[in-house]
Structure 1
Amino acid sequence: MPDFTRCVIDHSIHLHHRGYLGHQVSPSLPHSALAGLISDLLNNGMAVYEMGMASSAAENLIVQKMARTFGMKPGAGGLMTSGGSMANLTALLAARQIQSAGDPWTDGTCQNRYAVMVCDSSHYSIDRAVRIMGWGDSGLISVPYDDRYRMRADLLDALYDVARRRLWFHVDAAHGGALAFSQRHGKRLAGIDRADSVTIDFHKMLLVPGVTSALIYRKRQHGFRTFAQKADYLLTESNGAASPDSARQTLECTKLMMSIKVMAALKIHGESLFGANVDRLLDLTAHFADLIESRPNFELAIRPDCNIICFRIRRDEWDDQQTDKINRIIRRRLLEAGRYYIVQTMLKAAGQSDAKFFLRVTVANAMTTSEVLNRLLDEIEWIANDIHRG
């Protein structure tokens, strides 16, 4: 067993390493990780309350806490899910069930046309959910983005006429929803309390092991209409909106006891830790943007609004194709050296047809410092010079 454990550790990405600046996954709080061990050992399912009493109660408390944090009125509710993609799909299924003139669960969706208005730069899970539900290309009404990759809200009135009269307002706040815990940055989420449903991931900026997400409904009863299904061994006529059972709300049946991971963080550290972590990460990201802008050979895609930043190194003598190629090589050599883990992306500016390659950093690590970020830029510049010499 020690050999197996060492092998797994040696061949895994270490999120607590201060050079980890990759995907949107937070290093875990030790107490929340230990709560995950409790979950795995107890192995209680979550479909019915009698099988997961402690975790079901904890889940309800966390859902209510998030509803209040988002400013929703009494009567809000929801559930926890294994990831934001699952939460987004579940929210759209709820919207389909509630806003339909008929009953899609029994009658199907062939007689009705449904569509989702979504920004061109939205997370892929929205596109995937639309296609899982069988709505195809016509099920997506694309809203263009501006030069900061934000939805063009000024176009919504015109696009509204394309959509059906009855609308469901879903906010995919899987990443940015954490700002609700910040006294300084929470105002950026103004209006989120008016959403019919909201997705949030605790494993992105809130230091909880993944995958731990929640779907919050402005009206709790909406969640219990998502899956209008009978199963005598599990779902009964009496387990409607007053029931503590979660099986009617989610695709998952034997759901992990993910609620206790969040509860452990709240009980031991309090929600102030969430806000403090968000503030630190956003401050550090803004400082990293300053460092990039202070170096003449570096280019920012845009100033970051949150804790994700896209940039690249370029020189006047390089054309776009060379710039893309050299930054690809730089990322590969950074990974091979093992001191940093960063990712990559392709960005297409508003109104342009060609996408450009950028290095992508997510500042989500409490171990990362300004010095670490400065040395990252030094190393990128050194690699670029080495490529140029060779």
Structure 2
Amino acid sequence: MDNKILSSLYAQDNFRRLGKQLIDVLTDHIQNTTQEINKKTIQWNEPENELDFWKDFFENGTDDDFFNQILKRTTHTHNPKYVGHQVGVTAPITVFTGMLSNLLNNGMAVYEMGMAPNAIERIVIEKLCETIGYNSKSGGFLTSGGTLANLTALLSARKAKVEHDIWNEGHNEPLGIMVCEEAHYCVDRAAKIMGLGEKGIIKIPADENFAMDIQQLETYYQESISKGLKIFAIVGSAPSTATGAYDNLEAINKFAQMYNLWFHVDGAHGGAAIFSEKYKYLLKGAEKADSMVIDGHKMMMMPTITTALLFKNKNHSNHTFSQKADYLLNDTEEDEWYNSGRRTFECTKNMMCMHWFILLKMYGQKAFNVYVTRQYDLARDFAKIISKEPNFEIATEPMSNILCFRYLKDNLSLEELNHLNQSIRRQLLEDGEFYLVQTKLNGVHYLRTTLMNPFTTIDHLKLLLEKIKKGIAELLSKKD
């Protein structure tokens, strides 16, 4: 057998050469994007054309050009004119923690395959629990994304609040959870994966600010139990995805206490506000939640994908996937924090804890305080500017770094306005200088900015607004 190809795959000289080349390329990329030497945030290409390019590259492209082509043909989140999705602008140091995890490939499910990362993860979790306001009985783990974390939390809630052993015996009664209609769609997915069905997702209407209407909780709860549903959990959004509105977590907690419901906080995007001296008030009540989710890859400058799932009582973390009845677990088994595979869906996960640890170790919580506060302030400043424009309106005053706004014109119908705002967004996408997204609220189409980039300034946002106004003028002139 010819082993030359294997020798080539693991050749140290080749690794060193490519590694140095990539570090140089990435260093230039950071400089060129943050300083806007690269003028465009996105080089837009239609899907079929992009597919054709990579088919051709697979057959004819040169190996040494691969990294450059990836950088050229992907969205540049480090560009200050990136105001699009809720994706973190990664701190460069996490390139190295990611590289180390990928090379060592310690899966972490059992201690022998994850000595350092299991210990490091424990320290990170304790720091997060302390910051939330949990006591020494708390615990949790890191997992692959908010969707998986929210599902796991709801499985923990079902285990804790439903007497029947559903994990081993299946459902024997209709169950339900309560959540705002503006919550992230992953909560719906989790409920349906758990077999609750559409009727088991009790969606509480949003108020005028697109947060959960607390006044309607009692009515919806009573209607649901009158239909034979057993409600076992309620989810608060911190914040919702579309508008960045924080639910009233204190009020939700009081309601949960009244009816012995599990209180879960989906803080995937905005849970990091616990680090902000100015904005941590938005999470008042989270310290009483049974569980909470925080994404590192959103507002904590980490690469995708890493999420903390935190429990007020760490025993709930240990029992979720127990293969035998709780009363058969002894204390030693319950506290095997170092064997993380016992507590997560993942039998294998990467060493994501290193991102959290190195940022906390090198920069401390102050870095998150400064970053979150800056981005939330920026959204408020942008909202003030838009509100002074005669032909623009915001959907609601921003509570986070998410801001939805649209262009208005008196003589246009809602359908025409929706089309106009969609068209200007498409125009911006094809132009590529800025990258922003869009959303629909109560049938109204809005442009949506999520201010993730720590290099974005109010001057960039003023330029974006001017570009939108100019583009709309062109679109309206064509219409006339």
Q: Give the TM-score band, short-chain normalised.
A: over 0.9
CA–CA distance in structure 2, aligned partners of residues 389 and 197 of structure 1: 53
Secondary structure of 1:117 counterpart:
strand
Q: What's the Cα RMSD here?
A: 1.6
Partner of 2:83: 21
Describe the SS at the equivalent of 2:310: strand
- Residue deviations 1:104-158 (CA, integer Å, cap 9, x gap): 111111x122111111111000000000111101211111110000111122233
d(CA) in 1 for partners of 2:331 and 2:314? 18
Is the CA contact (8 Å cut-off) linking 1:171 and 1:192 kept in structure 2?
A: yes
1:228 aligns with 2:316: no
Looking at structure 2, the residues matched to 186 and 366 of structure 1 have their Cα atoms a distance apart, in angstroms, of: 19
Instruction: Give aligned-pair identity as a percent.
Output: 41
In 1: Cα distance, 2:337 partner to 2:299 partner: 31
Q: Distance in 2 between matches of 1:5 and 1:229?
A: 45
Amino acid at match of 1:213: T
Q: 5+ residue gaps in structure 1?
A: 231-235, 349-354
Counterpart CA distance in 2 for 1:216 and 1:296 is: 45
| Structure 1 equivalent of residue 4 of structure 2 | none
Measured in 2, the distance between the counterparts of 1:141 and 1:384 equals 40
Among 365, 369, 373, the residue aligned to 2:457: 369
Match of 2:474 in 1: 386
1:190 aligns with 2:284: yes
- Equivalent position SS for 2:475: helix
Please give the alpha-carbon distance, in whole angstroms, between the structure 2 residues aligned to 1:2 and 1:16.
Answer: 23
1:303 corresponds to which of 397, 402, 418: 397
Q: Is the 8 A contact 1:229 1:248 kept in 2?
A: no
| Structure ID, larger Rg | 2
**2:137 match:** 75
C-alpha contact 1:20 1:342 (8 A) present in aligned 2:
yes
Inter-partner Cα distance in structure 2 for 1:113 and 1:237: 33
* Equivalences for residues 284-323 of structure 1 within 5 A: 284-323=378-417
Cross-structure match for 1:178: 272
SS of equivalent to 2:142: strand
Secondary structure at the aligned position of 2:301 is classed as coil
Q: Give, in angstroms, the shift of residue 33 of structure 1.
A: 2.1
- Equivalent of 2:123 in 61, 64, 74: 61
Give the equivalent residue in structure 1 for 2:170. 108
Residue 180 (structure 2) aligned to one of 90, 108, 119 = 119
State how far apart, in whole Å, the 1-side matches of 2:421 and 2:100 are: 43
- 2:383 and 2:403 in contact (8 A); partners too: yes
Residues 342 and 360 in structure 1, CA contact (< 8 A), matched pair in contact too: yes
| Cα distance in structure 2, aligned partners of 1:79 and 1:69 | 15
Matching residue within 303, 317, 324 for 1:209: 303
Structure with the higher helix share, 1 or 2: 2
Q: What secondary structure does 2:164 align onto?
A: coil
Q: In the alignment, what sits opposite 1:233? A: none
Higher mean C-alpha deviation, range 95-104 or range 124-133: 95-104
Report deviation, 1:167.
1.5
Q: How many residue pairs get matched?
A: 379
Superposition deviation, residue 102 in structure 1: 2.0
More deviation, 332-341/159-168:
159-168
The residue that corresponds to 2:419 in the other structure is 325
Q: Does 1:154 align with 2:215?
A: yes
User: 1:139 is matched with which residue?
Assistant: 200
**Structure 1 residues 238 and 72, CA gap change in structure 2 (3 angstroms):** closer
TM-score of the aligned structures, taking structure 2 as reference length: 0.77
Query: What are the Cα deviations for residues 174-230 of structure 1, in whole angstroms up to 9, with x where unaligned?
Result: 111111001111122111111110011111111111111110000001111111238
Shift, 1:267, TM fit: 1.2
Task: Indicate if the aligned counterparts of 1:33 and 1:208 stay in contact, CA closer than 8 A.
Answer: no
Please identify, of 96-105 and 38-47, the stretch whose mean Cα deviation from structure 2 is larger: 96-105
1:237 positional shift: 11
2 CA distance for matches of 1:50 and 1:99?
A: 34
**What is the deviation of 1:172?**
0.5
User: What is the CA-CA distance between 1:166 and the residue it aligns to?
Assistant: 4.2
Counterpart CA distance in 1 for 2:111 and 2:215 is: 46
TM-score, L = length of structure 1: 0.94
Worse-matched range after superposition: 155-164 or 65-74 = 155-164
3-state DSSP of counterpart to 1:169: strand
Return the letter of the residue paired with 2:435: Y
Query: How far apart, CA to CA, are the structure 2 residues paired with 1:89 and 1:133?
Result: 8
Greater Cα shift, 5-14 or 370-379: 5-14
Question: Aligned pair in 2 of structure 1 residues 188, 237: CA closer, same or farther (>3 Å)?
Answer: closer
Report the Cα distance in structure 1 between the residues aligned to 2:64 and 2:436, rounded to whole angstroms. Answer: 30
Whether the 8 Å CA contact 2:122–2:337 is kept in 1: the answer is no
The corresponding residue for 2:191 is 130
Distance in 1 of aligned mates of 2:334 and 2:132? 25
Q: Deviations over 1:213-258 (max 9, x none)?
A: 110000001111111238xxxxx99643344211121111110110
* Per-residue deviation, residues 1-53 of structure 1 (Å, max 9, x unmatched): 32111111111111001110010011000112211111111111011121111
**2: distance between equivalents of 1:89 and 1:78?**
14
The one-letter code matched in structure 1 to 2:193 is I
Q: Which residue of 1 aligns with 2:357?
A: 263
Q: CA deviation at 1:292?
A: 0.6
- 8 Å CA contact 1:239, 1:245 repeated in 2: no
Which one has more relative contact order, counting CA pairs under 8 Å at least 6 apart? 1
State the alpha-carbon separation in 1 of the partners of residues 118 and 314 from structure 2: 15
Alpha-carbon shift at residue 160 of structure 1 (Å): 3.6
Separation (CA, whole Å) in 2 of partners of 1:249 and 1:166: 24
Unpaired runs of 5+ residues, structure 2, are 1-62, 232-258, 325-329
